[in-house]
Structure 1
């Protein structure tokens, strides 16, 4: 339903990068529901699926690393607003890599790609720009605990490639020269996102079952963490879009976005395993120091054997980390509150796992059809 209480351009043109991806798809769906008359463009490395195509007015199959192609696409779209959600999220062992080659790969998408998109937006006389950063821009520092932090904490702490790239891109987006040029920018920092079409988070947790690693808890098990259901992540982007196209009270600001339900990390894993039909027979707590020695030995074995290992010192520290944040600023300025009607984190886990089960069934069917 079109919100008539705010003043927007008559039919704003909105371009979503990463629009065919996990988050981008839901942003487009909710934008269409809230503002069916808005003109929506999708820019992604891959074409959107058939069901999504009816919600999109124009599609550009473009890699954000290709500067010329990005400039050409935005010159064609002429957006009033760009929502830049395209990103590379390292998975598995790559999440904790210290290799420069991995850093350059992540930086090329998350920082260089952001530079390309924002500068192309300026060249196309775009009025507003929303950057999808991450809570990791702060918390990808595995040496500290983060208890109910807010946006006043400066970046520059992240050491992992993903968080470093997001913090670097944030600094570029928020540079005062862009506001001087007439571009209203806003940065959102979502917590890790789950949902029925998730292909990363749940698969990693599911893999621990096959590896026989579900009976261990690293640390005391009392480490709280924040998560975010996909519909709430998309809602925050829609609210930010409405803000920067009207009152613009969010311009130049950064917002943490979570489900506002911090949970014990190991309890969340147990809930996901239960939804997937697995119940560990016991839960043995391993001191972090002992787990780090074990992880170091695994890394050494991987180096000698030339094989990738699933457990390293980075993943051990990550599993024992404390990270939860305040969303008070997003509530006050954006009007963000997680959707109700059964979309709490518990129900979000159930829906996410139901979707993952469908993915597994589809893969099994495809595998059989190829025999």
Structure 2
């Protein structure tokens, strides 16, 4: 769900009702169901026999089996009809991380999530599954096989991540087994796959502009990239295993492909699969980082006169040049998680889905 700043057209946009013969335990709402992850979530839930509501700012697809609601995440009046009568809510709504709108991040990720919690409680929802991020424990330095025991980042890589920390804390603190309201958080990392609106399109755009020629660091830093179907699988497993006496209550879980890959190898496989050249020149990590800091400082100093948005930022340098991959052992033990799609198959399926963006030689 990409929360826009424009005022949405509120209310239901279809007249379909949740299938009455579906038991309440199989009735759910996907908040942000029109987004990249949300659409895949809806498709897999339908395939598993769930009755599905979608709540979002916009309706991006048609399906007669889905009951759509449009509205503002911060409005209980808008949200209540979408979660009434369901057992489980999947909350995967978030502004795009690339946005520079700090107010929007805080409003949607934190204030909107607080509204989700209160509205779900009042509507009698039993389970709330949050899409968080593994970056909530990433300070910008190496994380190798990081577990959920790592503390929240004291210096988050950006303001978006800071609000994701606040969001996750609010959801996990709200878990109340005695009150029959159970919560858990899924922490994916580097989501990609067909219909991705961020990673692959941005990568291709940069390649077309000649901005994908350099490797930051030695190119050996391992990173988790997670295929979207595996992320959805983790969410659904969490919902199905979450119960009053389970170890999932009020806890967060890393969900990845469980197969870390060198950052630049992954990008190169996507680029070469679409007929673009892979990066080949190397820049030492600290040279790139300090250069990015200088560019960011320059943009800040010039902001009263001109708005500059450097593509070369300290955050992006840190993401591209450090190790950051995470252990899935806790999810394996608690919910029996195993990736459904291997990295090789995931890359192949993603490249095939973006053939329309390939370079014509």
TM-score normalised over the length of structure 1: 0.83
**Contact conserved, 1:148 with 1:325, CA < 8 A, in 2?**
yes
Task: Summarize deviations over 1:244-292 as a string: whole Å, max 9, x none.
Answer: 2697442222110000110000111111110110124x72221122223
Task: Summarize deviations over 1:298-319 as a string: whole Å, max 9, x none.
Answer: 4456454533222122222221
**What is the count of residue pairs matched by the alignment?**
332
**1:55 correspondence with 2:33:** no
Looking at structure 2, the residues matched to 13 and 338 of structure 1 have their Cα atoms a distance apart, in angstroms, of 25
**Contact conserved, 1:79 with 1:126, CA < 8 A, in 2?**
yes
Distance 1:322 1:177, change over 3 A: closer
Give the counterpart of 2:92 among 61, 85, 92.
85
Equivalence for 2:127: 128
Distance 1:222 1:194, change over 3 A: same
Task: Summarize deviations over 1:22-71 as a string: whole Å, max 9, x none.
Answer: 1111112112222x2x3221111112412xx1332x22112212333123
Distance 1:62 1:70, change over 3 A: same
Structure 2 residue runs without a partner (length 5+): 1-21
Q: How does 1:1-371 map to 2 (within 5 A)?
A: 12-34=26-48, 36=49, 38-50=50-62, 53-56=63-66, 58-74=67-83, 77-91=84-98, 94=99, 102-139=101-138, 141-142=139-140, 144-157=141-154, 158-175=156-173, 178-244=176-242, 248-280=246-278, 283-299=280-296, 302=299, 304=302, 306-339=307-340, 343-358=341-356, 360=357
The alignment partner of 2:354 has SS state of helix
Q: CA deviation at 1:357?
A: 2.8
Distance 1:269 1:182, change over 3 A: same
* More displaced 10-residue stretch of structure 1: 255-264 or 154-163: 154-163
Looking at structure 2, the residues matched to 178 and 245 of structure 1 have their Cα atoms a distance apart, in angstroms, of 11
**Contact conserved, 1:114 with 1:169, CA < 8 A, in 2?**
yes
Looking at structure 2, the residues matched to 154 and 257 of structure 1 have their Cα atoms a distance apart, in angstroms, of 17
Task: Summarize deviations over 1:89-116 as a string: whole Å, max 9, x none.
Answer: 322xx4xx6xxxx322111111111111
Distance 1:319 1:178, change over 3 A: same
Looking at structure 1, the residues matched to 208 and 294 of structure 2 have their Cα atoms a distance apart, in angstroms, of 21
Q: CA deviation at 1:165?
A: 1.2
Q: CA deviation at 1:221?
A: 1.2
TM-score normalised over the length of structure 2: 0.85
Distance 1:249 1:11, change over 3 A: same
RMSD of Structure 2 on Structure 1 (CA): 2.3
**Contact conserved, 2:117 with 2:174, CA < 8 A, in 1?**
no
Q: CA deviation at 1:169?
A: 0.9
Equivalence for 1:368: none
The alignment partner of 2:53 has SS state of strand
Give the number of the structure whose residues are more often helix, by fraction.
1
Looking at structure 1, the residues matched to 122 and 174 of structure 2 have their Cα atoms a distance apart, in angstroms, of 17
Looking at structure 1, the residues matched to 243 and 24 of structure 2 have their Cα atoms a distance apart, in angstroms, of 11
**Contact conserved, 1:11 with 1:39, CA < 8 A, in 2?**
no
**Contact conserved, 1:9 with 1:245, CA < 8 A, in 2?**
no
**Contact conserved, 2:34 with 2:59, CA < 8 A, in 1?**
yes
Looking at structure 2, the residues matched to 301 and 113 of structure 1 have their Cα atoms a distance apart, in angstroms, of 33
**Contact conserved, 2:24 with 2:86, CA < 8 A, in 1?**
no
Q: CA deviation at 1:11?
A: 5.1
Distance 1:211 1:10, change over 3 A: closer
